[in-house]
């Protein structure tokens, strides 16, 4: 059972372990990504049912372009399938109150993916029960550089002064502007690092790690993370 009075508002999830899951079963790495996409859909639905307001899924990093071309191509096809499926399930997603947002440098994506993502964002823009951020071609450092560049341009134009630059102002330049920072970040697969995920926003996040590979991640695992979070004392630097 999950204590719904102590739920995090915003949960970030690093969907890791797809390739290893496939390798353990003698399957191509691409099969792990396909299975991981199914888990993404299920956990999104479950989190929304619990009442979690914001979810950010690390789907594809700025570094993932270094992977084999075939693997990258399959991941992009999975994006396409997800976007087409979201269109097919438009009524269902509207009933759930899903708002979809894509954070990261989408300019490097294929034109059809950019178009489908833009349509999905627009179609769901009036929903607010659960915001689902899909971090695609995302990197925390590049996000910080992007925000810094935007602020420098405003200073150069004389629209703001250096005294106007505050943490809140900086946060307003990030992809997650107007959203609360993640309370909890979940990383399955036995790795213990952020991997360039929500670098600025995670300053006071709680972390939960598991050896479970993402394709094997279940609602029970999600419950364990939430229950662990509910038992932590968050002081934000205070006593």
Sign, Cα dihedral of 103, 106, 107, 113? negative
Judged by DSSP in three states, 40 sits in: helix
**133 catalytic per annotation:** no
Catalytic one of 5, 16, 133, 216? 16
- How does DSSP classify residue 9? S
The active-site residue, picked from 5, 18, 64, 77, is 64
Name the DSSP class of 166: -
Strand ranges (E), the chain: 10-14, 54-61, 98-103, 130-138, 184-187, 206-209
* Inter-residue contact 136 to 170 (CB < 8 Å): no
Strands in 54-61's sheet, in edge-to-edge order, are 98-103, 130-138, 54-61, 10-14, 184-187, 206-209
Q: Rounded to 5 degrees, what are φ and ψ at 93? A: -65, -35
Q: Is 16 an annotated catalytic residue? A: yes
Q: What are 103's two structure tokens?
A: 């954070």
Active site residues per annotation = 16, 64
């Amino acid at each position: 059972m999950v204590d719904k009075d102590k739920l995090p508002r915003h949960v970030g999830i690093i969907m890791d372990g797809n390739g290893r899951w496939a390798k353990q079963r003698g399957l191509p790495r691409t099969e792990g990504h396909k299975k991981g996409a199914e888990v993404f859909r299920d956990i999104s639905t479950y989190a929304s049912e619990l009442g979690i307001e914001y979810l950010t899924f690390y789907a594809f990093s700025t570094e993932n372009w270094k992977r084999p071309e075939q693997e990258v191509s399959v991941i992009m096809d999975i994006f396409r399938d997800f976007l087409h499926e979201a269109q097919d399930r438009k009524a269902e997603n509207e009933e759930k109150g899903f708002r979809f947002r894509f954070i990261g440098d989408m300019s490097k994506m294929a034109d059809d993916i950019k178009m489908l993502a833009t349509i999905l964002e627009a179609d769901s823009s009036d929903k607010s029960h659960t915001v689902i951020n899909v971090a695609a071609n995302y990197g925390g450092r590049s996000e910080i550089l992007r925000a810094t560049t935007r602020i420098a341009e405003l200073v150069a134009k004389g629209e703001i002064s250096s005294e106007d630059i505050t943490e809140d102002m900086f946060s307003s330049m990030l992809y997650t502007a107007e959203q609360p920072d993640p309370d909890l970040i979940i990383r399955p697969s036995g790795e213990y690092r952020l991997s360039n995920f929500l670098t600025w926003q995670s300053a006071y996040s709680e972390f939960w790690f598991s050896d479970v590979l993402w394709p094997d991640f279940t609602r029970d695992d999600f419950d364990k993370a939430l229950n662990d979070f509910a038992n932590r004392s968050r002081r934000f630097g205070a006593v």
